[in-house]
Each structure stands twice: as C-alpha cells, then as structure tokens.
Amino acid sequence: MGAQWKAKGKELAANAKGRVFGKLSKDIMLAARSGADPAANSRLRLLVEQARKASMPKDTLDRAIKKGAGLTGEAVNFEHVIYEGFAPHRVPLMVECLTDNLNRTAPEMRVLFRKGQLGTSGSVAWDFDHLGMIEAEPAVPGADAEVAAIEAGAQDLEPGDEEGTTLFLTDPTDLDLVSRALPAQGFTVLSAKLGYKPKNPVDPASLSAEQLEEVEAFLAAIDANDDVQNVYVGLAG
C-alpha cells in the first residue's frame, strides 16, 4: 500500500474513473494558472498526458484547461489542506485535499475520521517523508532504472503502481530537475508530484483479516470524498 493508497475491488473500481477525472480536473485547473499551452507549461503537459492515459474526454480536458487559465470567466479558488490522523487500528495516514470551501471540507473530514482518529497538524507528519514522486516507464529497450536514478539525481526508486513502471523518489526541491533529466536516461515520465512516504509502515500481518477490512473501508470512504486528492497511508505492501 506504501506511498499512496489505491481503491480496490470491482465496485470501487467501477466508481473510480469518475473520481479520477474529478481529481485530474482540479490538478489541471491549478496547473493551467501558469498558462494554457502544455508545450510551455511542463506541469500541465504531464497532467494532460495523465488525462489522456486515463481516457478523460477531450471536452472535459479542454474545459479544465480553459477554466484554470481564466479563459471562461470563472474563478478557480482551490485551497490546499492536509489532514493528519489514524485509520482504525492506529494506521497513520495523510489526506491531501483541494477544496473551494473549507467550511464544507473540515466538518466532512471530522465525520469521516470518527471511525479512526483525526490528529492535529504535525501529529502524524513526523512519521512520513515529504518527497518528490515521479512515475516513469522505459522509453527504450534495456533502460536501467538504477542507472537512470543515479544519473538524473533521484534519491531512491521502487516499483511503480503499474507493471513495468518505476517510482523515482526525489528531494522535494529536485522534482522538476529529475523529471526533466529522466527522458535523457531512457524513461518517459508519466506523472510527477510531491507526496508522502511512511517511515515506519504498519505490517498488514499484524492485523487480522477483519481489521484489514475495517481499514480498507475507512480508506475507501475517505477517498470517495470529492475534495480528497490523495491518501497516503502508513501500511506496508
């Protein structure tokens, strides 16, 4: 589960695409504030590629870019906020939200955390490393991820979310630098963002099957909230 929790199960997967589009749209709108042309906006270019890979409809993508760039006359005012706490059975997590109404999001998070424990700022963050996370795949046969990591300046690497991909971990300040260096090492960057990696993840073997189900149900409810962008969980595997 590691760096970022992903919804599991057929029913969750069936509902996941709409949530993916919603989350991507927010990220695209924020990135488009720096310009609507992906060729001149590296952050937007990566998000456009993610949107296409996720099969986001072209009109949805175009609307998000135009709205974020201020071309529709609509204001885009998202606030970035992190909620820290524990899922059931003391599994730590960081919940990253983008919201246009903090007065709505805050009470919703308090309700969702009732089956766990909502912490104060810094109560859980100390147990996570704040890192740049770059998911990439080989662009040429034989591309060596370890060599690429060293040459591009990444701190570490691990298997990515999808088969054949690699997650390159960087210092937060080096995220853009490493993203731009990886193509020269034979890798295509699929996504690049700042995120959280647990330092001391809970071993799932220490929990019963019933307890793990409680944790999964809790995480699924958190992830289903429209204001939640990413859920980082201190659970190994």
Q: What is the CATH number of the domain that holds 173?
A: 3.30.70.980
Per-residue confidence (pLDDT) for residue 6, from 0 to 100 = 62
Query: Quick one: pLDDT at residue 1?
Result: 42
DSSP 8-state code for residue 155? S
Residue 185 resides in a domain: yes
Q: Is 132 part of a structural domain of the chain?
A: yes
Q: Which residue, chain included where needed, has tokens 């599991």?
A: 8
Residue 233 lies in a domain: no
Q: Is residue 64 part of a domain?
A: no
Write out the residue range of the structural domain in which residue 156 sits. Answer: 127-198
Q: What is residue 43's predicted lDDT score, i.e. its pLDDT? A: 85
Q: Is residue 76 part of a domain?
A: no
From first to last of the 237 residues of the chain, give the pLDDT tens digit. 444 556 554 444 445 677 888 899 999 998 998 899 998 988 898 899 889 888 899 999 999 999 999 888 887 788 899 999 999 999 999 999 999 999 999 999 999 999 999 999 999 999 999 999 999 999 988 899 999 999 999 999 998 888 889 999 999 999 989 999 999 999 999 888 899 999 999 999 999 999 999 999 999 999 999 999 999 999 987
Angle at CA of residue 220, ends 59 and 45, nearest 5°: 35
Q: In this predicted structure, what is the pLDDT of residue 16? A: 65
Quick check: 118 and 110 in contact, CB under 8 A? yes
Query: CA-CA distances (angstroms) from residue 48 to 41, 61, 62, 203?
Result: 11, 8, 10, 36
Q: Are 117 and 188 in contact (CB under 8 A)?
A: no
Given a contact cutoff of 8 angstroms between Cβ atoms, the answer to whether 28 and 47 are in contact is yes
Distance of alpha carbon 81 from alpha carbon 200, whole angstroms: 23
CA angle, residues 40, 42, 46, in degrees to nearest 5: 130
Q: What pLDDT, on a 0 to 100 scale, did the predictor assign at position 5?
A: 54
Q: How many domains does the chain have?
A: 1
In 33-136, which residue ranges form alpha helices assigned H by DSSP? 42-53, 58-68, 102-112
Please indicate, yes or no, if residue 156 is contained in any of the structural domains: yes
Residue 140 domain flag: yes
